[in-house]
Structure 1
Amino acid sequence: MLHARIRFFWDDLQLAVMQHTSDMEFRLAETPQVDSIIERYINEMLVLTAGDDVLPGKVTARGIDEADIVDEVMWWYRVEYSVNESVERVHVSNRLLFNVFEDQRNLFHLKTRRGRERAWAFSWSDDNVTMRLN
């Protein structure tokens, strides 16, 4: 099992989902219905594959990190990816928020099975990487 914790500025996430779904009435809310919409957005924009198999992510938790300034409020989601123990590498394509911001940069952190912390930066021109899990 791989675990990801994805953090977004609330207004960036809301705008990205509005544009991605063409639903200009979309509003973030702490509901299962909104969680499902966010899960779909994450699975379409953050794609993990093992060989030819796409690994669907499942939102297992969500939360809000409050801030004194409303534009700095962060929404986070914990996403689980089921990965067979025999899989040694996972390919990641990370285009979260790229549908809104041309200068978007995303950081992706992974703890390998051996406990080693790894981090990758994604941008428009560098949006995918193959990662070793061991």
Structure 2
Amino acid sequence: MLVFMLLPITQKMLIRIIKVLFKLFGTAYIVEKVREKLVLSVAEFQHTIRIQIKKIGFILVFVGCIFVLFSLGLRFLFLGLAYWLNTLLNSSFLGFFVISACCFLIAVFAVLLLRKKIDNQQGQQEKNINGENNLHDFQ
């Protein structure tokens, strides 16, 4: 009681102090709730990322093994074809040249096919962009 008599606090000042305290406590409460929600969402995000990484890791290992086995199989197949052509052509190197030329032609054909596919995709994207712009012009 003595403290209140010494300080000339008016009723308006007391109301302002109470409002500031409520705002501070309200803000602290909101910050705490946001922190709890963020902790939960971050934990959930980390869990889903770990699951996706495990799936992607398994897929990468699987694809890598298939690639290695397939490439080794093709390598031995082409080597066998080259030796077989060498014996047919009675040469010690002509079979290797024929097989390497065939591999080069296959690689060029694959690059050309992929290039056409990429060009077609870019053309479709340009048409979509131009089509959207034309729709806006008509409206």
TM-score of the alignment, normalized to the shorter chain, above 0.5: no
Q: Give the structure with the higher percent helix.
A: 2
Whichever of the two has the greater Rg, that structure is: 2
Structure showing the higher strand proportion among its residues: 1
- Structure scoring higher RCO (CA < 8 A, sep ≥ 6) equals 1
